[in-house]
Structure 1
Amino acid sequence: MPGNTSVTYQGPGDVELVDAGYPEFVLRDGPGVPPENVGRQVRHGAIVKPVATNICGSDQHMVRGRTTAPHGLVLGHEITGEVVEVGPDVEVIKVGDLVSVPFNIACGRCRNCKAGDTHICQRVNPAQPGGAYGYVDMGGWPGGQAEYVLTPYADWNLLRFPDRDQAMAKILDLAMLTDIFPTGYHGCVSAGVTSGSTVYIAGAGPVGLAAAVSALFLGAAVVIVGDLNEQRLEQARRFGCEAVNVGQGEPGELVEQVLGVPEVDCAVDAVGFEARGHGEDTATERPASVLNALMATTRAGGRLGIPGLYVTGDPGAADEAAREGSLSIRFGLGWARAHTFVTGQCPVMRYHRKLMTTILNDRVSIADAVNATVLPLTEARRGYEEFDRGAARKYVLDPHGMIPA
C-alpha cells in the first residue's frame, strides 16, 4: 500500500508534510471529523491521485490562525486528478478518468442538492449544511494537498474531462474549475453582470481576478478592480481591467475617476473578513469595510455578489463581536438603496461543466490571468509563505510531477 504525503495545518503559520495514510472507502476518525461522521461508509466514492492541487486564500485564512481549524487537518479543497480506485457502488466514473473535483462535497440526494444548491448539502456534514475537503467545520473530510484523496459520491461530484491529452495540455486552466473560476463567475452572476455592465470588484487576489475575467466574459463594458497590492492590480490591467489602489481613496472616489460617476451597476466582494480600510485607514483590519464600500458604490437597485469568505469564528479578530462574525455593516444603506445581496459558497456544479467547455474551446485562459505557478508538494510551505506575503500568483501543487513543463 503506498503512503500518502499530505500538507497539514499544525498551528498558526505552520504547515508540515506528514504521511496521512492511504485513503480507504470509509471516513476514519481524525482532526475535525464530527463523531457522527466517524466510520461513515463511502462505497459510492473514488480515490483520486491529484495531478494539480491548489493553495487557496481560504486555506490561508486557516494557516494564519484566523479560524478554529484543528491541528493536524489535511489541507486542500482545489483538486484535479486521476481516478485510481472506485468504490463498489460507483457506476459511471472509471479508473483512469481525469476529473475535476468540486470543492463542495454534495450527496446529490438531499433537497438542496436536487435544487442545485450543492454548496449547502444536508447530508455530508452533521454540524451544518455544506461540506468541503480539508476545511474547518466542513464535515472532517481530509483535503487533497496530498498524494491521494478520497472523494465521496463520485458519480455525482466528479466532472470527467472528455479527452485526457487535451485536458493535460490545458491542465493549469482546468485546475481552476474546482473553485476559483466558478467562484469568481458565481460572484458576477449573483451581482447581475451582463452586457454593458459597469462592475467594481473588491480584491485582486486569485478569486478577484477570476471574477474580473468572468465579468469580461459575461460582457461587462468596464471592469474596475480595487486592491492595495500593486502587483496584483497589474495582473488585472494585463487582461483589460481598470485597476485602482484603494489606499489612495474610497472606492466610490476612485470609480468616479474612471467612469465620471461614483457608482457602478454591479459589485463583487472577493476579499472577505480579513479586509482592511481604505484611503489613510489601510493599516488596520476593518472586516466590514468592503461590504460598506460596495453598498456606497453600487447604484440603487443594484446587486452585490459576495463570494468572499466570512466566518462565524475568528480567534484573531480585533474585537469580540468580529470573533463571532458580527460586523458593523451599514445594512440600512443597503436597504434604502434596494440592494440585493447574494452570499455563501459557490455551488460549483452549477457552473463547472460550461466553464470547462469555455477552456477547452480556447475562449478563456484563466491560468494566465491568475499567474498560475507550479510547485512540487514538498514546497507547499514556500507557497503558503509567499502567498501570505502577497505574491501575485496562484500556487498549484504538483504532487506526482505530472504537470507538463
Structure 2
Amino acid sequence: MHAWPASDVPALPGKGRDLRIHDTATGGPVTLDPGPVARIYVCGITPYDATHLGHAATYNAFDLVQRVWLDTKRQVHYVQNVTDIDDPLLERAARDGEDWTGLAERETALFREDMTALRMLPPRHYIGAVEAIPGIVPLVERLCDSGAAYVLDGDVYFSVDADPHFGEVSHLDAEAMRLLSAERGGDPDRPGKKNPLDPMLWMAAREGEPHWDGAGLGPGRPGWHIECVAIALDHLGMGFDVQGGGSDLAFPHHEMGASHAQALTGEHPFAKAYVHAGMVGLDGEKMSKSKGNLVFVSTLRRAGVDPAAIRLALLAHHYRADWEWTDQVLDTAVGRLARWRAAVSRPDGPPAEALVEEVREALSNDLDAPAALAAVDRWAALQDTTGGTDEGAPGVVSRTVDALLGVAL
C-alpha cells in the first residue's frame, strides 16, 4: 500500500530542541532522546468513513512530533497502518450494499487526499492489515507455542496473564478495562475465556465473511491488536520511540498491543512513550462514527475552505485537550491565516530570529501549538502596527510556520 506525497520541509537556521512530551504509561512528561533515526508508529484509520476532524486532529499532533524531530536534524522512521479488514468495515459495506474491498479502497484514497491537502508528512511505511497477514500468522503461532495464547471454538485468544507488564500503559482497574473492552471491540462476556479481558488474535472463518489461509491456525482473519504489533515489529522493532493515536486507543488497543509484543519478545517496553491525542466533539458529544456527528475534511474542502485554515483550527487546541468544533473555531482560523499571509507578504518586517526560538520552545514543550500560534500572532501584530526594516524577516517567518507548523503561507 502506498502513502501520499510529501511536502517539502524548509530547513531553519540553528537546531531545534529535544521533545518533552506527556507519556500515558508514566502519567507525566518524558524527554525523548532518539538516536539519529527517531522511530514512531501511529495507528491508522479503519477505512469506512474518512477523514473526520477527529482523525485530522490526531494525525496533526503526530505530524508535529515529526517536524520537531526533523528540526533537531534527525531522520524520522514513521510507520502507519490501515485496518482494511475489521467488523465495522464489513458492517458498513453490508449496510450500504457495497463490496467491502471497494469501500476500503475508496475511503483510503480519500484519506490520502485529505492528508496531502493538510500537508501531513507521510509515513515511510503505510501498511494495510490484509497485506500484513503473512507476517501476522507466524506471530500468533509463536504465541500459541509459548502458551501465551489458546484456542476457543476455533478462535485464538491472547492470555493477558502471559505478560507481567499488562496494565502498565493505561493503568486502569479491571472493571474499567472490562467496560471499555465491551465498548471498544472486545468480547469480555464470551464464555470459556481464561480472562474476560483476553483479546482475539485470530478469528476463525465465519460464513459469508472474508478469510485468509492461517496455516496451522486454520482459515480466518487477524484480530485488531496483533495487526499493529506485527507491522511495528517488522518495520521498527522493539523499544521504538513513540506509539501514538487518539486517547481512545490507550485501552484496549495500545495496552493489548504492548502485551502481545512483550510476550513475543520477552522484552519491555514495546514503545518508550505512549502519546495520545484528545477527542474532538460536536454539539456536546465526542465526534464519532457511531454517533454520526462527523465533520469531514473533504466536505470542508469541497465547500472552499483553505486546508491551511483547517490546519490552523486544529493547531489552536493543545493536542491532549478534548475540544469542540464550531463555526467560530473555523472563522478564527480563517482570520488568522489571512493576517499571517498579509504580514509575510510585505517586503520587510520586524526581526524574526526570536520568533523561531519561541516556536521551537513551544513545540518542544509537549507540542504546545497554541503557544506557537500566539508567538506568530505577536509578530504579525507588530508587523501590522510598526513594521520593520529586516528584509529577510517575512521569509524567515514563512519558513518557520511551514517547517514547524505545516502551514504554507
TM-score (norm 1): 0.24
Larger RCO (CA under 8 A, 6+ residues apart) = 2
Rg larger in structure: 2
Relative to its length, the structure with more strand (as a share) is 1
Relative to its length, the structure with more helix (as a share) is 2
TM-score (norm 2): 0.24
